[in-house]
Amino acid sequence: VRLAVLVSGSGTNLQSLIDRSRQGFLNAEVVVVVSDRPGAYGLTRARDAGIHGHVVDYRSFMSGPLPAEPEEEVLDALDRRQRILKETDPSRRRSKLKRLVAAESAMIRILSAYRPDYICLAGFMRLLTPYFLDHWNREGDLRVINIHPALLPAFPGEHAYRDTFQYGCKLGGVTVHFVDEGEDTGPVIAQGAYPIWPYDDLERVERRGLQLEYEMYAQCVNWLAAGVLELEPTSSGRRRVII
């Protein structure tokens, strides 16, 4: 299958996907890399691997004149469904949503040209709106996945390694999940855990966790490629991933 990988930073998960794919351990190929930041090292990794890299510079979308699209009705519908923007002031929230949608439509334009089967977030530090997700999640299939360095629903958000470590947890974890309208809330595909010893520092914890991330991301992509994952509704309203 064809993977698009979205990055914001160093891109070691991207590197691991590229390496495993080329070594024959991944039944998938990274066909394009998109970053929200021009300086992301992940773009250099893509170039070194001969993979097309693109920048959608979110900063330029988040200021300046407000985009004309989407029209009010569409924006309303998106605003009712999204759960990522915390602004309580409706007009500020809607402006921000509009800007995010403009950035996302630029990403969709670029990504579509590569016909990806799945969009893999790998250290992509932006929140995606239902506008982006709807584009890929068609016919009931979820096609956007993320890796998060904690055992969700514990420690969502940007600083999961730090939060796990500072809490004093003696078990750290990794979650690979489908992306939905919330922040780190979508159906869980797989979780793994590793020990945190009393003498560890944050750096060692991160290094240990990242090794597990690389393995788990590859395993989950292989399941997607094999087409074995299914979503089962549960009585709680949440969907559960089963094989």
Contacts of 219 (CB under 8 A, 6+ apart): 190
* E strand or H helix that includes residue 94: helix 90-112
Residue 212 is labelled as binding a ligand: no
72 is written with which tokens? 């009010």
Residue 202 to residue 208: CA distance in whole angstroms: 10
Q: Among all residues, which ones are annotated catalytic?
A: 148
Residue 182 beta carbon to ligand GRF: minimum distance, rounded to whole angstroms: 15
- Is 146 labeled as ligand-binding? yes
17 is in an annotated binding site: no
127 in a known ligand binding site: yes
Nearest to ligand GRF of 83, 159 (CB atom): 159
User: Minimum distance from CB of 7 to ligand GRF (Å)?
Assistant: 6
Q: Which is nearer to ligand GRF, 7 or 18 (CB)?
A: 7
Angle between helices 12-22 and 202-226 (to 10 degrees): 40
Looking at the Cβ atoms of 111 and 216, the one nearer to ligand GRF is 216
- Measured CA to CA, the distance from residue 141 to residue 156 in angstroms comes to 24
Is the preceding omega at residue 187 within 30 degrees of 0, hence cis?
A: no
In whole angstroms, how close is the CB of 199 to ligand GRF at the nearest point?
Answer: 22
Distance between CA atoms of residues 228 and 94, nearest Å: 38
Question: Is 80 annotated among the ligand-binding residues?
Answer: yes
Q: Which is nearer to ligand GRF, 143 or 148 (CB)?
A: 148
**Shortest approach of ligand GRF to residue 173 CB, angstroms?**
11
Give the residues across from 53 on adjacent strands: 33
Distance CA 56, CA 205 (A): 32
> 185 is written with which tokens?
């809330």
Q: By CB under 6 A, name the binding residues for ligand GRF.
A: 7, 9-13, 122-123, 147-149, 213
Q: Which positions make up the binding site for (6R)-10-formyltetrahydrofolate?
A: 80, 125-128, 146
Q: Which positions make up the binding site?
A: 11-13, 80, 125-128, 146
